[in-house]
A and B are shown apart, each in its own frame.
Chain A
Amino acid sequence: MSAAPEHAPTMARLSVGQRLGPYAPVLLLAAIMAIGHLAIPATSSWLTLTLSGLAMGMMIFIMASGLTLVFGLMDVINFGHGAFVSVGAFVGVSFLLLLEHMSGASSLTLNLTALMVAIVGAMAATGLMGWAFERVIVKPVYGHHLKQILVTMGGLIVVEQLIIVLWGPEEIYITRPESLKGAITFAGAALEKYRLVAVGIGIVVFLAMRWTLRRTKIGLIVRAGVENGEMVMALGYNLRLVFIGVFVAGSALAGLGGVLWGLYQEVVTAHMGNQTMILVFIVVIIGGLGSVEGCFIGALMVGLLQNYVAFLEPKAALISNIALMVAILMWRPMGMIPVVKAK
């Protein structure tokens, strides 16, 4: 009987790098905030910029989340997503202008009611539009990326032009509801009320989405569909129906993002959707196409970086985001939180 081969198993702990790997995106976000603080010594300006960065990031996340889920679930890339942002902004602004007596009053309840009406109206309109868009524009070109990009781009052009037909070619200026104007002072920093509200709405949307995806049956089906759609269909679920639901929800969220963005800029134009899409695309790429968490962290990074850099060197703001995207793609080519397809 020969002796057992010499072998000494070791129970090595994972190295620090390996254990930190999954948290790297969050740490990177914290690092950006810390570096921002180093570069901007005055705490009050840093706080103001951080808040506006977070607010911007939340809005971009709201707009981008639908896009990334739609891609993850059905491999559909919607270049016309910006159209929902524009339509949402215009519908929301129209409601706010109609309810001027409410949003102009100095009562918080009335203001918030007007805002809620505008948001619900915009989300309903863009949700409905998303359904029509899916039926008419996207459905005939499933599984064909090139045609999807072309056709949805065509859809974007048509919707932008229709907005101009319906609302006129001029940009519309809008003032925020009375009690959301101005700022509160905290630790010597002026924090705009509206940005705080935007951050709040963003967190609520993110948590609601996370809860839906992780704790409900429909969320389970969506996550399973992202990983392996064919298997889910083989198990008897109508993934097409789920997909339409996700598309409509994503469009409605884009509409919500449009209202928030319009009030943030205090002006809406037909091209605003397409302009925000640039940041949205950067966010979904660095987050990892199909990943909601990645999209969230990516959006916050982009928002913060944009604000810090715009404060330090205004001309470099847009370039900084491109640089961030390049750096992240060098580090993780599929995005920070890549979606693993079981195929």
Chain B
Amino acid sequence: MLKTLLSGDMPRAPILSALLVVILICLALAPFLFPGVRSVDTAARICIFIVLVASYDLLLGYGGIVSFAHTMFFGLGAYGVALASTHLGRGFDSLLIGTLGGAAVAATLALVIGLFSLRVRAIFFAMITLAVASAVAVLVSQLSGLTGGEDGLSFKIPRALGPAFKFADGEIFGVKANGKLLKYYLIFGACLILFLLMLRIVNSPFGRVLQSIRENDFRAEAIGYRVVHYRVAATCLSAAIAACAGALYAIWLRYVGPDTTLSMEIMIDILLMVVIGGMGTMYGAVIGATLFVLAQNYLQNLLSLAGDSVATLPLLPDLLNADRWLLWLGVLFILSVYFFPTGIVGRLRNN
């Protein structure tokens, strides 16, 4: 049963299995285990980023293609939901239409970019996605009539997902039985399904071909697989799933804006999560996203403590400033590409 659910791709390491189970339980019971607005918000962010990072890993770790447009696809889904909810009125049908529309646009755009760049050289893809993604980000902030520009869009989600909606009287284990709880479980369930779906994809024959292309594209072509078709298909799939993650993020925040969905910073975050967690394995996305989001929310405080403790020394306080944590992540990122290219999961599996 478990094996079917995980598509035969077991964690294959005791510590890793334990970690995954702990993460699953914590996320599944987050509203009860960690009541409080901030911690539930963190849990939802972790769920969504696991899907987003896993969809990026589908491209980077399995396909061996570097894309810098993943936030663009993420944003397309988010803006799809926001626009549908604004123009079609609040309701589950507009959420669905927005999600599907965003995913379709993302997949189409990925198809076009993929056909243009991947047929020549896989390395073009990285550069072209970087250019297209920044152009789209600029465009979104300029077309303020449609997208709300820099301010973004706030929109209404169905009443059943709001805090004012009570689906039962009183409390369940000390947690108010309101729409917010439903919304968390909607996000959690959708993320779980998407994650298992991706696990299914990478362990299918299609996933195997992708891996063989990553290892040696020339040989894969010689064996008879159309490398370009597989790479483009992986790009489209990954874009569509990223758009779904974006739609979930928009539903959770009830807001979209360039900073929350399209910015280069999020792209760098995704890269860091994939590399630190472990490229080429879906579980790497789980570990990477969880660690990173937790660190983002709680480690920055620690860093500012460290900064305060050396306040009298020259330069060091600046280096340890909480705003400079990207610096240390960058160093960590370079070191992990050199020394742990398989990330945390690869390490755990080797031991």
Which A residues fall within an 8 A CB radius of B? 77, 79, 137, 140-141, 145-147, 149-151, 153-155, 157-158, 161-162, 164-165, 169, 274-275, 277-278, 281-282, 284-285, 289, 315, 318-319, 321-322, 325-326, 329-330, 333-334
Contacts and interface: CB of A to CB of B under 8 A. Distances in A.
Nearest to A157: B330
B115 to A, nearest CB: 10
Interface stretch (B93-101, B138-146, B253-261): B138-146
A146 B64 contact: yes
Contacts of B306: none
Contacts of A330: 116
B271 A285 contact: no
Nearest to B327: A161
8 contacts: A150-B337, A153-B268, A155-B334, A157-B268, A157-B327, A165-B321, A319-B135, A329-B120
B273 to A, nearest CB: 13
Nearest to B321: A165
A162 B326 CA distance: 10
B330 to A, nearest CB: 4
B159 interface: no
Nearest to A161: B327
Contacts of A282: 127, 131
A164 B324 contact: yes
Contacts, number: 100
B128 A325 contact: yes
B142 to A, nearest CB: 5
B66 A150 contact: yes
Interface string B318-348: 1101011011011101100110010000000
A325 B134 CA distance: 14
Contacts of A155: 330, 334
Contacts of B116: 326, 329-330
B134 A278 contact: yes
Given A161-B326, A165-B319, A329-B116, A137 B131 contact: no
Nearest to A333: B120
B324 A325 contact: no
By size class, the interface of chain B is: 35 or more
B132 A322 contact: yes
Nearest to B61: A146
Contacts of B327: 157-158, 161-162, 165
A158 B325 CA distance: 10
A77 B66 CA distance: 12
Contacts of B337: 141, 147, 150-151, 154
A285 B333 CA distance: 27
B143 A315 contact: yes
Given A157-B268, A165-B319, 16 more contacts: A77-B123, A140-B338, A141-B338, A145-B123, A147-B337, A149-B123, A150-B66, A151-B338, A155-B334, A157-B330, A274-B264, A285-B124, A285-B128, A318-B135, A321-B131, A325-B131
A182 to B, nearest CB: 30
Contacts of A146: 60, 64, 66
A145 B122 contact: yes
Interface string B52-73: 0000000010001010000000
Given A145-B122, A165-B327, A281-B130, A151 B334 contact: yes
Contacts of B194: none
B315 interface: yes
Interface string B3-16: 00000000000000
Contacts of B128: 281, 285, 325
Contact of A318 (B119, B138, B143, B271): B138
Question: What 4 pairs across the A-B complex have the smallest Cβ distances?
Answer: A161-B327, A157-B330, A158-B330, A281-B127
B134 A158 contact: no
A315 to B, nearest CB: 5
Nearest to A158: B330
Contacts of B315: 165
Contacts of A150: 66, 271, 275, 333, 337
Interface string B67-105: 000000000000000000000000000000000000000
Interface in B234-275: 264, 268, 271, 275
